[in-house]
């Protein structure tokens, strides 16, 4: 570690230069090797990164005609970027976004597109915890041959807390037909222990078509966990 003495020309200095960092402490200004941040990847982050590699390789393997089909699909669906509804997604972004959701839900990559309407949005109508089982109930049945949904939930919150996406975690749900799904294992993996009842949780739910890259908007809400 080097100690720096200032003169009449340079009266103060701070920050990083190359791989060195200059900072002030009780001994004055010192220079030391720039510390590298410790990066810890969660299991979910590893899964997302692995999926991105898989999807990018699949996109590169598509023929020009197949890529054009994904770009032209946007003339039908009109899907736009998040912050400007006047700017459509590119075919590549649509492919990356939709295929990522499919892989997260346990489906293989979509090969052939179909021109069909978006699915019907779903809403939560109940959370129940009994022993080591935690069940999610939605309002409309999902047919896993036609639709799937992604669901995220938070740890327990107070009833007065405003609905927020902050801290909600994705719950892997094996695609199946029905309205009731067990999310106990995913919840324990995300938060360590099932919530006690009664308590409130925030959630998001997003419904997709299995046959085409069309989907509903995100439904955010909060619901009480009951016995």
Whether 158 is in a domain gets the answer yes
Are 22 and 56 members of one domain? no
Are 154 and 210 members of one domain? yes
Are 175 and 217 members of one domain? yes
Q: 15 is in which domain, residue-wise?
A: 2-33
Whether 113 is in a domain gets the answer no
Are 71 and 164 members of one domain? no
CA distance 179 to 199: 22
The total number of residues shown for the chain amounts to: 227
Q: Is residue 17 over pLDDT 60?
A: yes
Whether 119 is in a domain gets the answer no
Could you report the per-residue pLDDT of 135-145, keeping only the tens digit for each? 999 999 999 99
Are 204 and 131 members of one domain? yes
Mean pLDDT value across residues 74-82:
90
- Looking at 59, 74, 105, which one is the last position of a domain? 105
Whether 115 is in a domain gets the answer no
Mean pLDDT value across residues 40-60:
89
Are 141 and 218 members of one domain? yes
Lowest average pLDDT, out of 42-51, 130-139, 183-192, 213-222, goes to 42-51
Whether 12 is in a domain gets the answer yes
Whether 161 is in a domain gets the answer yes
Of the two residues 167 and 20, the one the predictor is more confident about is 167
Lowest average pLDDT, out of 8-12, 63-67, 141-145, goes to 8-12
pLDDT computed for residue 106 by the predictor: 93
How many domains are there within the chain? 3
Mean pLDDT value across residues 45-70:
95
- Looking at 51, 70, 105, which one is the last position of a domain? 105
pLDDT computed for residue 38 by the predictor: 62
CA max distance for the chain: 77
| CATH number of the domain encompassing residue 189 | 2.60.40
Average pLDDT, the chain: 89
16 falls in which pLDDT band (50, 70, 90)? Answer: confident
Note if the pTM is more than 0.75. Answer: yes
Could you report the per-residue pLDDT of 167-199, keeping only the tens digit for each? 999 999 988 999 999 999 999 999 999 999 899
DSSP letters of the chain?
-EEE---SS-----EEETTEEEEEETTEEEEEEPPPPPP---HHHHHHHHHHHHHHHHHHHS-HHHHHHHHHHHHHH--EETTEEEEEPPHHHHHHHHHHHHHHHTPPPP-S----PPPPP--EEEEEEETTEEEEEEEEEE-TTTEEEEEEEPSPB-TTSPP--TT-EEE-----SEEEEE-HHHHHHHHSSPPPSSEEEEEEEEEEESSSS-B-PPEEEEEEEE-
Whether 110 is in a domain gets the answer no
Are 165 and 73 members of one domain? no
Are 137 and 200 members of one domain? yes
Are 91 and 145 members of one domain? no
Q: Is residue 107 over pLDDT 70?
A: yes
Whether 38 is in a domain gets the answer no
Are 163 and 217 members of one domain? yes
Least Cα distance to 123 among 225, 222, 223, 219 occurs for 219
Other Cβ atoms within 10 Å of 183 Cβ, number: 19
Of the two residues 226 and 25, the one the predictor is more confident about is 226
Q: Is residue 69 over pLDDT 80?
A: yes
Are 97 and 159 members of one domain? no
Are 143 and 222 members of one domain? yes
């Amino acid at each position: 570690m080097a100690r720096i003495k200032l003169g009449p020309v340079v009266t103060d200095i701070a920050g990083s230069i190359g791989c060195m960092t200059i900072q002030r402490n009780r001994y004055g200004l010192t220079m030391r090797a720039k510390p590298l941040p410790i990066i810890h990847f969660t299991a979910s982050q590893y899964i997302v990164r692995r999926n991105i590699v898989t999807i990018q390789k699949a996109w590169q393997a598509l023929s020009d005609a197949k890529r054009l089909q994904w770009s032209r699909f946007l003339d039908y669906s009109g899907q736009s970027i998040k912050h400007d509804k006047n700017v459509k997604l590119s075919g590549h972004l649509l492919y990356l976004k939709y295929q990522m959701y499919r892989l997260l839900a346990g489906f293989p990559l979509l090969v052939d597109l179909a021109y069909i309407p978006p699915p019907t949005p779903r809403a939560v109508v109940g959370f129940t915890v009994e022993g080591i089982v935690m069940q999610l109930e939605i309002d409309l049945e999902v047919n896993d041959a036609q639709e799937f949904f992604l669901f995220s939930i938070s740890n327990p919150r107070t009833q007065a807390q405003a609905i927020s996406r902050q801290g909600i975690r994705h719950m892997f749900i094996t695609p199946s037909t029905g309205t009731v799904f067990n999310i106990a294992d995913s919840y324990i993996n995300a938060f360590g222990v099932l919530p006690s009842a009664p308590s409130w949780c925030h959630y998001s739910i997003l419904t997709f078509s299995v046959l085409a890259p069309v989907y509903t908007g995100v439904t955010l809400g909060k619901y009480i966990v009951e016995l």
